[in-house]
Amino acid sequence: MFPVHPYFAATALSLFLLPAAAFGWGFAGHRKLASKLAEPLPTGCLKSWLAAQASKVTFQDQACDPDRWRETDTAEGARHFLDIDWASPPSSYPREWEAIQQRFGQYAEKNGTVPFRVEEYRNRLVQAFQSGDSAAAATAVAHLSHYATDAFSPYHDTKDSNPKLNNVDSVGAHARYESDMLGGASNMTALLTKAATYYGTVGAPVLPGQVFDVVLVGNPLAAEVTAAYRSGNGQVAALYSATSDLTARRFGDALTFTASLVASAWVEAGKPNLTGMPSGCSKNVPQGEIVLRGYPLPPPVPAQPDAGTPAVEDAGQPAEPDAGSGEPEVEEPPPGEAPPPESCGCGGETAAAVLLPITLLGRLRRRRVR
């Protein structure tokens, strides 16, 4: 175990001050996405089982669990994103954990580790399917869906994760886009209806590589959302009007990709029968190449050896929470890279609500917190 930095306690405390809907797609967004997970799957045993699980309120709520875990696990936040543009060009970001550590050192985790988290939870789902425990498998699907869909949020794909209108904008684009814009039932319903037109072809994912591809494709989309936020002067209605198609495309792709993760895990587990699967149903699920229609992925590259999932803590420094406003962690930027931006968060709290004592800052430089 690495030594614990004094900042950990302050960061954990600040997280309790943040509204629940400040994380990721917001609780409303994650619940609604979870409710649609079965839709991209072809008719058969797996779709019937998953549709039954996805209709349950408890399942939808479990899709929000990873955001709750941040309240007690200071390393959890970085598992929801990848700031791929710390590399220039972003496509040069390494895809093996050992190479990432060599390039970014103590920032390897702080830059985000969502590709490895998706791979980890997909493997956990295989084990849950193999156990034959339908309830355990459903919980594993719900948790996997959170990480997988977070990777499709543009602001989880860039270091500029919470642009502001001006120096008095205490909220920023992240919360307006992911939480406020999706908080209205009519907006969410319309987005999911449109997302269905962008469902692609379920297939076998290449992990963690294709999650890197998801992030790489999403990285430039963040600039489009930011431009819409600023041109609409931060108004939610204007932001929705300008980004609804972009968001629906990402939703459609996220659901296609997550359904592919579930299908491939079930196939690897031997296609077990689970409680609620209809008698005589088809066990056929496509396991070819995943095709995303909203924003297509680049062609798959040959799988490379996986150097392992990242350690829980990074050389005694805190992993970054992936949501909320507040005083950022402060450290030097990765070698050879530009200095990181000022504090950015996706919560509705003002920065003053979660300022850290100045004694914790020392001579260190600012680094963003989501």
**Confidence band for 2, pLDDT divided at 50, 70 and 90:** very low
Element at 146 (helix H, strand E): helix 134-150
* Mean pLDDT of the region 130-135: 97
Q: What's the chain's average pLDDT?
A: 82
- Euclidean distance between CA atoms 247 and 251, whole angstroms: 6
SS3 (DSSP) at 347: coil
What is the percent of the chain where pLDDT is above 90? Answer: 71
Output the DSSP codes for 356-368: PPGGGTTTPPB--
* Predicted local distance difference test score (pLDDT) of residue 315: 36
- Predicted structure pTM score: 0.79
**Confidence band for 304, pLDDT divided at 50, 70 and 90:** low
Q: Is the pLDDT of residue 82 over 50?
A: yes
Which residues have C-beta within 8 Å of that of residue 72, sequence separation ≥ 6?
12
Among the ranges 170-179, 332-341, 353-362, which has the highest mean pLDDT value? Answer: 170-179
Q: pLDDT: is 224 or 314 the higher one?
A: 224
Q: Is the pLDDT of residue 19 over 50?
A: no
Q: What's the CA dihedral at 189, 194, 197, 198 to 10 degrees?
A: -100
Report residue 157 as tokens.
């794909």
Which domains does the chain possess?
Answer: 7-360 (1.10.575.10)
From 287, 148, 139, 131, select the one nearest 213 (Cα to Cα): 148
* Predicted local distance difference test score (pLDDT) of residue 184: 83
**Confidence band for 333, pLDDT divided at 50, 70 and 90:** low
Among the ranges 5-9, 12-16, 91-95, 356-360, which has the highest mean pLDDT value? Answer: 91-95
Output the DSSP codes for 76-105: SGGGG---GGGSSSGGGS--SHHHHHHHHT
**Confidence band for 8, pLDDT divided at 50, 70 and 90:** very low
**Confidence band for 167, pLDDT divided at 50, 70 and 90:** confident
Q: pLDDT: is 69 or 339 the higher one?
A: 69
* Predicted local distance difference test score (pLDDT) of residue 367: 37
Q: Is the pLDDT of residue 183 over 90?
A: no
